[in-house]
Chains A and B, each alone.
Chain A
Amino acid sequence: MRLINRTPPARLDLVLKAAPFVLLALAYTIAAIARHDANAGDKVLPTLGQMIGGVREMLFTRDLATGQYLMLADTIASLRRLLSGLGLAVVISFTLGIVVGMIPYAKRLLLPFITALSMVPPLAILPILFILAGIGETAKIALIALGTAPYMLRDLVLRVEELPRPQLIKAQTLGASSWQIALRIVIPQMLPRLIDGVRLSLGPAWLYVISAEAIAAQDGLGYRIFLVRRYFAMDIIIPYVLWITLLAYIFDLALRALQTAAFPWFAEAGRQ
C-alpha cells in the first residue's frame, strides 16, 4: 500500500505520540549521567533529582528578601502581564478588525497604516516604550499588545473578507442594517476565528513576556531564568522552561476546548 494510505493502528497511536518525548527525556538522562560520572559537581546537565530539589526550593521556600514563594509569585506576575497584554490586543484587534473588514471607508483609511505598523519590530520599540512609560508594567503590557495585535488584526480583516459575498447580500435582502449585519452575521462568525488567532498569538505573546522581563523586571518567569543564569542554575532554568511550555500548552488546549464547546457549528461548517 502507498505510504499516504497507511494509518497506524489504534494501539500504536499513543506509542507514536509519546515516542519523541520519551526519546528526548532518555537522551537527556543518559547525557546527564555521563557528565556526572565524569564530574560529580556538573551543573550544566542537572539530574532529575537535582531539578526536583531546585523546584522544591523555588516552590516551598519563602524568599528572604520578599517573603514570597518565588515560583508562585513569578508565575502570577508573568501570567498577569501575558493576559493583560493579550487581552488588550484581542479587544483592540477584534473591534478594529470587524470595522476595517466591513467598512470600505475604514479599510482605505486604516489598512495601509496598520500594515506598515505591523512591520515595526516590537522589540525595537521597547526602548521607546521604556522612555515613554517608564520601566513599569505599562511598557511591558504595551509591548505584548503591540507585538500581537497587528497580526490578529490583519488576520481578522482577511477572515471578514473571506465571508462569502452572497451571505452579506442575503442579509441585506432580509432587511439587515450594517449594524445588524455586524451584530448577527459577522461578529458571531468571527469569534471562533478570533480564538484561532489568539492560539497562534500565544507563542509570540510569551516571547514578548520573557523578553520584557529579561530586560527590566523584578519578578516573573523570564526575569528568574535570566537572573539564575548568572549562577549556571540549570536545575532551576530547565524546570522553569518546562513550566512555561506546559502553561502555554494548557492555554492552547483550553482555547481549543472553548472553541468546540461554544461554537459547535464551526467545525461542522469547516468540514463542508
Chain B
Amino acid sequence: MTHSPPAASVLSVRDVCKTYAGRQILERVSIELAAGSFLAVVGPTGCGKTTFLRMLMSEEVPTSGTIALDGRKLPDEPTADRGVVFQRYSVFPHLTVLGNAVLPLELAAAPRFGRLFGAARRRAEATASAMLEHVGLGPAAALYPAQLSGGMQQRLALAQALIRQPRVLLLDEPFSALDPGTRADIHALTRRLWQETGMTVVMVTHDISEAFSLGTRVIVFERPIPDDAKRGARITHDIPVRRRTQRQPAALPLTPASLTAAPLTACPPAACPPAT
C-alpha cells in the first residue's frame, strides 16, 4: 500500500505534565504525530509510559498542557476514535471469539440493545468472520478467550480494536507477556495490519528491539534525576526509523540463508543511529 502523504498532525501533545499526589510523573511532554506513523514509546519501568498512553485515551487528564486529536481538544472520556489493546484484559471473557469481534459492530448499529438480530446480525458476523480470518483466528471463532493462548487473545484484541477503524490505535505493552516465537508472529501481523489500514499507532513497550522493528519513530522517556519527586520524565530522544530494506527479502530467492537473514534487515537498534 502507498503511505498517505505527510498530513497535519493526528495527535498533537503540547507541554503536557502529569502529577500524582505531588509526585511529578511527566514533565513538559510535547510531540506532533503525523498521520500514518507508528510511534513506539520506550523507557524504564515506572517512568510514565502507561500514564502517557492513558492520557491519550482520556482515561487520565493532564495536570497541565493540552492534547489534540485532529486539531480538536481530546474528548473527556474514551471514544471510538481511539482503539486500545492492553497487555491483559483486552477481550471480553463472556463472549466467544466471534462474539468479541461482532460486538463493536453491534454497538454501533444497535444503540438501544447493543445487539443485532436476523439479517443484520448475519451481515455483521460475515464482516467479523472476515476480520478473524485475516488475523488467523478463523478456526477459533466459537471458542471463548480463556480457551485461547496468549498470542491468540492478543490477535483477537487487535481485530476487535481495528474492526471499526479508529483514527488512532493505542497499544500498552501488548506483546510483552508472550513468548518470543509468538511475539515474532504477532509483530508481523501488527505490521501488516498497520500497512493495510494506514492507521496511526502509538505503542508503549519496554522492548527496545520491538520498538525499532515496528516503529517509524521511537521516543524515549527518562527522568533527568531518577529519585527526585519534583522532576518528571521527559522525552530525551526522538528517533525516526528508516526501514531501508523493507521489500528486499521478497525479491531474493528463498534460500535458507536469505530466510535467516530476513529478520536482520528490519533495522536492529544498533543500525539506527539517532538522527538528531
Contact = CB atoms under 8 A, between A and B. Distances in A.
B48 interface: no
A189 to B, nearest CB: 5
A269 interface: yes
A185 B92 contact: yes
B57 A169 contact: yes
Interface stretch (A32-40, A61-69, A115-123, A171-179): A171-179
A263 interface: yes
B144 to A, nearest CB: 4
Contacts of B90: 166, 170
Interface string A158-186: 00000010110111111111011001110
Contact of A268 (B82, B113, B147): B147
B136 interface: no
Interface residues of B, number: 35
A191 to B, nearest CB: 9
A5 to B, nearest CB: 27
Interface residues of A, number: 27
Nearest to B110: A180
Interface SS of chain A: helix
B104 interface: yes
Given A184-B115, A265-B146, A175 B88 contact: no
B40 interface: no
Interface in A223-272: 263-266, 268-269, 271-272
A177 B89 CA distance: 19
A269 B144 contact: yes
A188 interface: yes
A159 to B, nearest CB: 13
Contact of A174 (B93, B113, B164): B164
Most buried by A among B94, B146, B166: B94
Contacts of B146: 265, 268-269, 271-272
A156 B115 CA distance: 24
A166 B114 contact: no
A177 B111 contact: yes
Interface of A: 164, 166-167, 169-177, 179-180, 183-185, 188-189, 263-266, 268-269, 271-272
Given A174-B107, A176-B114, 4 more contacts: A174-B83, A175-B104, A184-B114, A189-B94
